[in-house]
Amino acid sequence: MTILTDSTPDQIRVAAQAAADAAPLWAATPIAVRATLLRALASALESQRNALVALADEETHLGAARLNGELDRTSFQLRGFAERIETGEAQPVQDDPAVPGAPPVGRPHLTRVAVPVGPVANFSASNFPFAFSVLGGDTASALAAGCPVVVKAHPGHPGLSRAVFELARGCIAALGLPAGVLQMVEGAGIPVGVALVRDPAIAAATFTGSVRGGVALWKEANARPRPIPFYGELGSVNPLVVLPDALAAQGSALAAQLAGSITLGCGQFCTSPGIIIVRDDEAGQTFVKQLAEGLAAANPHAMLNAGIRAGFNAGVARLHGRNGVKSLLALPAREAAPGAHLFATDATTFLADEVLHEEVFGPSALVVTVRDLAQTLQVLQAVQGTLTVTLWGADADTPDNRALVRTAQGIAGRVLFGGVPTGVAVTAAQQHGGPWPSTTNALTTSVGYAAMERFLRPVALQDAPAWLVEAKGQA
C-alpha cells in the first residue's frame, strides 16, 4: 500500500513555479508538438494497462472491467484533443478588416485571438481514477490549450497517481520539453489544496468532488489578491422524470434500466439519478415496485474509500424515518459493500424539506410522486441546479412537454430524452456542467472538446502587424 504524505509548502511552491517557468515555452510550442505529447500520453497508458488497472482496482475496488473501460476513455480523449487542436481549435482567430470612416460605421482592423491563461491546478476526482485524475479530461484539455498543469493527486488512489505521473514525465522528457509542463503534488490535508489554489503562479483551477470541499476552494480562489477562475463540479441529484407515455410503452424495461443506472459503480457517478419523479397513479406505483425489485437484485461493490462510505451512511440515515418519507428498500451491507436504498415522498413534502434536495452519493434514490405537470415543474425548479435532467416520454410536441423542456434546460447542463444520465460521451457537442450547486460555472464544460475554452483567454489585436496575425493563425 502506498504511504501518503502531504506535499510541503516548499514543494507546492516549487511545483507551481516550475509550471510558471514552462508556461511561455509550452504556450509557444507548435501545435504538432502538443498533439504528439497528447498521443504519447495515451499510448503510454495503454502500454502499461495491466499494471495500472491492477493498481487502480486495489485502491478503488472499481473492478477490472470498469477500469479498463475508463483507461480506454482516457486514451480516447487525449487523442481526441490532439485531433481537435490540429484543426485549429486551440488557436481560434476571428478577423474583422478595417472599414474607412468614423465609428460606428468605420472601424480599425481587429483580430480576436485566444491565449493560454497559464498554469492550471487540477484537483483529481476519487471516482474516476483515470478519466478525472492525473491524465484525465481537465489535464488533457489544459495541455491542449497550451497551459502547464499542476495535478493535486487524490488520496484515494495515490499509488496509481504516482505511477501515471511517472509515465507522463517520461513522455515529456522524451520530447525534450520542460518538466514544468506537468507537475504533481499530493496529500489528504486541506492545507495542500489551499496552498495550491493560493499560489500566485496558478492561473486557473479545476475540481471534481464534494460541495463542501469545492466551495471552500472556490472561496480561496476568489479571495486571492488576484482572483482566478475556479471550475468546480460539486454535486448533482440528476432528476429523472417518468411520464405516463413512457410507462405505457415500456415501464418494466425502464425500471430495470434505471435500477442499473442507480447502482452503476456503486452509485458513485456524478450523473447518477438521485430523484425519480413519477405520477401518483397505478402505473406509477407499478413502476416504483419494479424499480425496487431491480435494486434489490443489484450487487453493488465496495465503495471507493471509508470517507465516501461514511458519507453515504449518513445520507441514507437522514432519510430513514424522516417525516413524510417512506423507506421502500434498505438492503443490509455485505462486508465492504453497501446495500441499495430507495425512498419515496410526495411533492408537497419534497418542496417543504430542503434536506430532500441534497445528493446522497452512493446506491440510493428518492422517488417523488406528483399529481400533475404543475407539481412536476415545481419539483424540478426546487432542485435549482443539476448536471442532468432526464425526461422519459416527452417525445411528442405538446404544450406540456415544451414546458418540461424549458424547465429542464433552466436547471441542467444536459437534458436527456432517452437512456440514462450515467455515462458521458466525450465529443464536441457535450455539456458537462450545470447551474449552482452542481458546478461553479454553468457556462463551461469539463467533458468534451469545448473544455479547452476554460483555459483560453480572448484578446483583441487592433491594427496588429501582419507577422503577428499570421503567427496567431498558424496551427
Q: Measured on CA atoms in the order 411, 417, 423, 424, is the torsion positive or negative?
A: negative
Burial readout 299-316 (b: 16 or more C-beta within 10 A, e: otherwise) = ebbbbbbeebbebbeebb
What are the φ and ψ backbone dihedral angles of 411, each rounded to 5 degrees? -120, -5
Closest CA to 230 of 245, 211, 252, 215: 215
Alpha helices in 199-243 (DSSP H): 211-223
What are the φ and ψ backbone dihedral angles of 343, each rounded to 5 degrees? -120, 165
Burial readout 40-50 (b: 16 or more C-beta within 10 A, e: otherwise) = bbbebbeebee
In angstroms, the CA 327 to CA 319 distance is 8
Cα distances from 264 to residues 364, 392, 473, in angstroms, run: 11, 19, 44
Measured at the alpha carbon of residue 455, what is the angle toward residues 453 and 459, in degrees to the nearest 5? 80
- Would you please indicate which residues are annotated as catalytic (active-site) residues? 233, 270
In angstroms, the CA 312 to CA 422 distance is 18
> CA-based Rg of the chain, rounded to a whole angstrom?
24
In angstroms, the CA 322 to CA 325 distance is 5
**Which residues make beta-bridge pairs with 297?**
none
